[in-house]
Amino acid sequence: MMNPIERTRFLSGISDAEAALLLYDWPFWAREKQLPPDGTWRVWLILAGRGFGKTRTGAEWIRTALESGRCQRAAIIGATAGDVRDVMVEGESGLLAIAPPWEQPRYEPSKRRLTWKSGSVATLLSADDPDQVRGHQFDIAWADEIAAWPQPEAWHNLMMALRLGTRPQCIATTTPRPKDWLKRIAEADGSVVTRGRSTENRLNLAPGFLAAMESAYGGTRLGRQELDGEFLTDVPGALWRRERLEAARVAPGGQPALDRIVVAIDPAASHHAASNETGILVAGRAAETAFVLEDLSGRLAPNDWAARAIDAYHRHAADRIVAEINQGGDMVEQVLRSVDPSVPLRLVRASRGKQTRAEPVAALYEQGRVHHIGRLDLLEDQMCSFTGASGGNSSPDRVDALVWALTELLLSRNRTQTGHFLI
């Protein structure tokens, strides 16, 4: 690989035609970290700061495989359909911009498809609809900004679809965020990780950008994550720590016989399915210890979250459903009663802030009195990023449902036995 001085000397001695060809020769221009790792691997995970060149690397790697016909079916998947279109396909470092004029793929937005002269086809997918990946099969994939994906199901479905050819592979490009499932991808057999900083691409960044970013974020946790590409797993001031959750984890079926089981609901602020999530947690108690059994939270319309919660009530033979009514008021009870009029309800109203309510529950974890059954990734991601600070995780719906469930089981035994109570 040439250094910049050697590259400049070489370029000064070639013809215009040779220069035109060389312009699209990615290995000539790429830095070492932007070239595929040696050896046998399934996932090449690039964890790097903003401006490192992650998008260009992903696009060039996919382009090379599809132009040559080495791979026939590719998945191009981003956090949202807009991200796929605006960044991965049409962006300045996207697939259309980097393709040579003589190898431009045919772009059919309505069909979510790119087709190369070689016959290779790339399907454009969105991680905010994990089921979109079902039914497909691929021999290569590019997954962009996976740390921003709303849920890991899209990644799991992508891995199951990566089953064509003799050695299916995926490049995943992202700025890291403190998500446990991302950590497991990095540590999985068959994964190779490349790490990088924004400063490594300074020659291709706008003048003053790095200086401005260093002035604003240098030495901060955000700077370490967004500029240095560090994978920081714990958030300062968060009420929960991953290592404690991991130490207290119990394998599915490993819990003792339970004295009580409740289903707790924290309804979304809006009644629309695309709004914040509705938190739905199932937890049980054995003597003085609680076990979190299932996280059923999601972006759901009222009838859907009510049906899901009541189904969990019956499946787990629970004692009651505990539901917060701050946001929905009488609607919460009405929608639950419309699904099953006989289900026992306790309607609760928050009279204190989220952090104040969460702190006694976090103390239960500190005392070793709460265990999670199996993996509850999205709940634990929310727990380990919740500080209660203004401007942070402003609507931790899964955590709210957890707080209501564990308060009911372990912290409110002396409450008046009525249908409503405050906390």
Please write down the long-range contacts of 157-164, taking CB distance under 8 Å and 24 or more positions apart: 157/130, 157/131, 157/133, 158/75, 158/77, 158/125, 158/133, 161/75, 161/133, 161/134, 161/136, 161/137, 162/42, 162/75, 162/137, 162/138, 163/137, 163/138, 164/72, 164/73, 164/137, 164/138, 164/139
Q: Give the pLDDT confidence score for residue 392 in this predicted structure.
A: 47
Enter the DSSP assignment of 204.
G
How confident is the model at residue 168, as a pLDDT?
Answer: 97
**Distance in angstroms (rounded) separating the CA atoms of residues 369 and 96:** 55
* pLDDT at res. 419: 43
Query: Which residues are CB-contacts of 219 (< 8 A; sequence separation ≥ 6)?
Result: none
Per-residue pLDDT reduced to its tens digit, 31-53: 999 999 999 999 999 999 999 99
pLDDT confidence of residue 33: 95
Tokens of 162: 């990566």
Q: Which of 78, 76, 46, 74 is nearest to 165 (CA)?
A: 74
Helix (H, G, I), strand (E, B) or coil at 14: coil
Q: Hey, what amino acid is at 54?
A: K
Residue 423, pLDDT score: 44
Which residues, given as ranges, of the chain have pLDDT below 70? 1-2, 269-275, 328-329, 389-395, 413-423
The predicted-structure confidence for 383-417, as pLDDT tens digits, reads as follows 988 887 644 445 689 999 999 999 999 997 543 34
The domains found in the chain, sorted by start residue, are 24-226 (3.40.50.300), 242-422 (3.30.420.320)
* Cα–Cα distance measured from residue 127 to residue 133, given in angstroms and rounded to the nearest whole number: 8
* pLDDT tens readout for residues 278-289: 999 999 999 999
